[in-house]
Amino acid sequence: SQQGEEDPQALSIQEGENATMNCSYKTSINNLQWYRQNSGRGLVHLILIRSNEREKHSGRLRVTLDTSKKSSSLLITASRAADTASYFCARGDGGFKTIFGAGTRLFVKA
């Protein structure tokens, strides 16, 4: 399978809470990206973190990368109902491909 492991598969939280999603991968990477997908739409790029970076922020998003554990996490702080979507991690394999995980389905209750 092309897909990495994402955890949890689904997450339901209350508005205002933080949401944390994790991603693990098996092979070496040169970068890791996070995307968001609303139902019935294409994916939207959120953030890219390179293999020599450990943490990156963008607004309410915080991404960490631990290359020794081959894992990354996406934290969404102070979640809103509009954050309800599927979130995917994707790794650049050093070649041409960007390989996606199976995703975490986040539901934020108002």
Partner 1 sequence: GAGVSQTPSNKVTEKGKYVELRCDPISGHTALYWYRQSLGQGPEFLIYFQGTGAADDSGLPNDRFFAVRPEGSVSTLKIQRTERGDSAVYLCASSLRGLGDSPLHFGNGTRLTVT
Nearer to partner 1, 96 or 110 (CB): 96
Query: How far, in Å, CA of 71 to CA of 52, rounded?
Result: 13
Nearer to partner 1, 7 or 93 (CB): 93
**CA 19, 55, 60, 83 torsion-angle sign:** negative
Nearer to partner 1, 33 or 79 (CB): 33
Contact residues: partner 1, CB under 8 A: 2-3, 30-31, 33, 35, 40-45, 48, 88, 90, 92-103
Q: For residue 34, how many C-alpha atoms fall within 13 Å in the half-sphere facing its CB?
A: 27
